[in-house]
Amino acid sequence: MPKLLLATSNPGKQREFRVLLADSSWEIVTPQELHLSLPDEEKETNYEENAIIKAENAARASGLMALADDSGIEVDALTGAPGVLSARFGGPGLDDTGRLNLMLEQLEDVPDGRRSARYRAVIAIVQSSGETRTFEGTCEGMIGRSPVGDGGFGYDPIFYIPVRGKTMAELTMEEKNEISHRAVAAKKAVEYLRSLAAYGSTGAS
């Protein structure tokens, strides 16, 4: 089975992607497993560009086909912020909980009907030859008033999904992998990966 490098050291993303890509016909490997240290290089202009940069760096460093994603949360009452800056919202001194609390503070006076938001993800797959494909997914929701649930990571405890009646952090992994932004993008990516495997492309130069 050909190897696909998952270009992230984030344990939460690694867990999700291993499940989402389980039927891709590729063996998923991580930078840690290959003893690779990848640069965290993002230009912070858009999700697609960031995902491509990360996948290109990983493919170049490993000689393998690489997959990376960039994602963020877009809050309509904040005119789409924090978007591509979601992981750095509020500056480098904040962790996930700090960023989540900062968002709640900024939305404190926003009524429930205007707290719409979405998660957006773009997955980039780069072959060592340089051929690149991208896949996008979104998940619509609302920003709650306080954190609920202990699953997931990032903003999941305050991202309420009306059609499920739960926050993203309250969903089981199976439920999350049915509707999440990353799952929607990954389903498209899996179709592409299967087609490469079927035609015998390993991504190697």
- Please give the structure tokens belonging to residue 195: 């087609």
Catalytic residues: 70
Closest by Cα among 23, 6, 25, 3 to 15:
6
Sequence-ordered list of residues with C-beta below 8 angstroms from that of 106, at least 6 positions apart, any chain = 78
- H/E stretch holding 5 reads strand 3-6
In Å, what is the CA distance from 18 to each residue of 15, 62, 167, 173?
A: 5, 19, 22, 12
Sequence-ordered list of residues with C-beta below 8 angstroms from that of 109, at least 6 positions apart, any chain = none
Give the number of other Cβ atoms within 10 Å of residue 78's Cβ.
Answer: 17
